[in-house]
Amino acid sequence: MSMALKELKNRIKAADNIKQITRAMKLIASVKIKKIQRAFLPFREYIKDLQKIVSVLLRNTDFRLNLGNLDILKEKQGDKIGLIVATSDKGLCGAFNTNIFNYFEKKYLNLKEKLIIIPVGKKAVSYFSRRGYNLFATFDKVGDIPSFDFIKRLRYEIFNLHERVSGIEVIYTKYYSPSKFLPISIKLLPFDVSLIDIKEEKSDNVDHFIFEPSLDDIGQEIFEIYVNSLIYQLILDSKLSEFSARLMAMNTATENAENLIKDLKLLFFKKRQESITKELLEIVAGVEALK
């Protein structure tokens, strides 16, 4: 076998190995998506129930009048902005992380001196560390499905940061469908009560409630619980988007490898046919020369 044919055969083998790896990674991403969805479903029910509780409280006149006393809802003075940026821990997920960083640069690049950042994910930690941003805390190991302990530590740092800045915003990738997920930013703190859907039910009067220990304590606690839940929802959303992006990337890589193998095999057979034809011509020429 000539060197050209050996090289083609090696390239076909290498492409086939790559195809096996990308196909395996595609299957792994698919399994992890299902795991996150299973974690997401009961949590969505919890969020719905929590929204109902807050909605009832917000229909109470005394509770609404007391909202101005709650620290978690108060607008703060100052020019410093807290920013949480959620990315993946690993690569091989297409343009997932690039899209997040492009979104950040488009919206926040001119605010570098005002930003205090909490990067979530190895890619975010690496990106902001190399560029010299002011980092308040770093989380470089999120895991496939974030644990409640992780969310508890993240929440602790977020509320500590809130004491030093005028407000906190989050950049994450919102999941819309398996093929659509886009980076967006939302305001996390001070919490915006208008984000909660209050269902008016005229027949249900809730002004007779008696609050203990106090409206301040109850209000602060319920909105902190709501923000904690929102943080967990954002991180889960980001993870679901990440593995969907990885699934798409590995699917494309597998298809590209299959197409490359087809092209290489076609070229291999063509080269081998040329080699066989050449050898036959040499044999015929040799026979003719002996006559």
Count up the domains in the chain and report the number.
Answer: 1
CA terminus-to-terminus distance, the chain: 29
* Least confident range of 50-54, 164-168, 223-227: 50-54
Inside any domain, residue 127:
yes
Inside any domain, residue 282:
no
Output the domain CATH number for residue 81.
Answer: 3.40.1380.10
Inside any domain, residue 39:
yes
Inside any domain, residue 40:
yes
Q: How many angstroms separate the most distant Cα atoms in the chain?
A: 119
Q: What is the 8-class DSSP label of residue 175?
A: E
Inside any domain, residue 10:
no
Inside any domain, residue 1:
no
Cα distances from 207 to residues 36, 60, 165, in angstroms, run 40, 5, 35
**How confident is residue 147, by pLDDT bands cut at 50, 70 and 90?**
confident
State pLDDT tens for residues 202-254: 546 777 777 878 888 888 888 889 899 889 989 999 999 999 999 999 988 89
Helix (H) or strand (E) holding 215: helix 215-290
Residue 12 predicted with pLDDT over 60 = yes
Inside any domain, residue 254:
no
The tokens for 24 are: 């395996």
8 Å CB contact between 81 and 167:
yes
Average pLDDT over residues 94-98: 91
Give the contacts of 45 (CB within 8 A, at least 6 positions apart): none
Average pLDDT over residues 165-185: 91
Inside any domain, residue 5:
no
Range of the domain at 191: 28-201+210-248
Predicted local confidence at residue 194, as pLDDT: 75
Residue 15 predicted with pLDDT over 70 = yes
Helix (H) or strand (E) holding 154: helix 148-162
Average pLDDT over residues 157-172: 92
